[in-house]
Amino acid sequence: MKTRFKPKFNIKKGDTVVVIAGDDKDRTKPRKVLEVIPDKARVLVEGVNIITKHTKPTAQNTKGGIVKQEAPIAISNVMLWDAKAGKPTKVNRQRENGKLVRIAKKSGEVIK
């Protein structure tokens, strides 16, 4: 994603999200965001898009073998989870005391 301007996303590391598209789609199961990759517009979500990686033996990992780990998915395939409403929600941004805060559109709660 090559653009002149840095993209702004409403999802941050540590947020709870719901996967709304893809193989791991489940709109009722909130999961935690492990990492956000803004320049590629991707997120790493806990327990989603598990891949098997074949590793060679190294000094740190003397055995090597097959490792299962999460791979990034497109940020458009996740939606922020609103704990108060118990549903996925869109995000609204507003300034409060000079700071930009995220507000859930379903419940009106401030997302921390």
Q: Which two tokens stand for residue 9?
A: 């996303």
In terms of residue numbers, what domain contains 61? 15-83
3-state secondary structure the chain: CCCCCCCCCCCCCCCEEEECCCCCCEEEEEEEEEEEECCCCEEEECCCCEEEEEECCCCCCCCCEEEEEECCEEHHHEEEEECCCCEEECEEEEEECCEEEEEECCCCCEEC
Quote the pTM value: 0.83
19 burial level (CB within 10 Å; 0-12, 13-18, 19+): buried
pLDDT for the residue 2:
64
**Does a structural domain hold residue 90?**
no
**Does a structural domain hold residue 70?**
yes
Per-residue pLDDT band for 81 (boundaries 50, 70, 90) equals: very high
Q: What is the pLDDT of residues 52-69, one digit of tens each?
A: 999 999 999 899 999 999
Which residues on neighbouring strands pair with residue 44, listed in sequence order?
35
**Does a structural domain hold residue 88?**
no
How large is the average pLDDT for residues 13-22? 96
**Does a structural domain hold residue 1?**
no
CATH of the domain at 70: 2.30.30.30
**Does a structural domain hold residue 47?**
yes
CA distance 109 to 102: 9
Mean pLDDT of the chain: 93
Q: Would the pLDDT of 7 be above 90?
A: no
**Does a structural domain hold residue 50?**
yes
Instruction: Return the residue matching tokens 């118990």.
Output: 86
Q: Would the pLDDT of 8 be above 90?
A: no
**Does a structural domain hold residue 96?**
no
- CA atoms in the 13 A half-sphere facing the CB of 111: 27
How large is the average pLDDT for residues 20-31? 94
Counted domains in the chain: 1
**Does a structural domain hold residue 95?**
no
pLDDT for the residue 1:
60
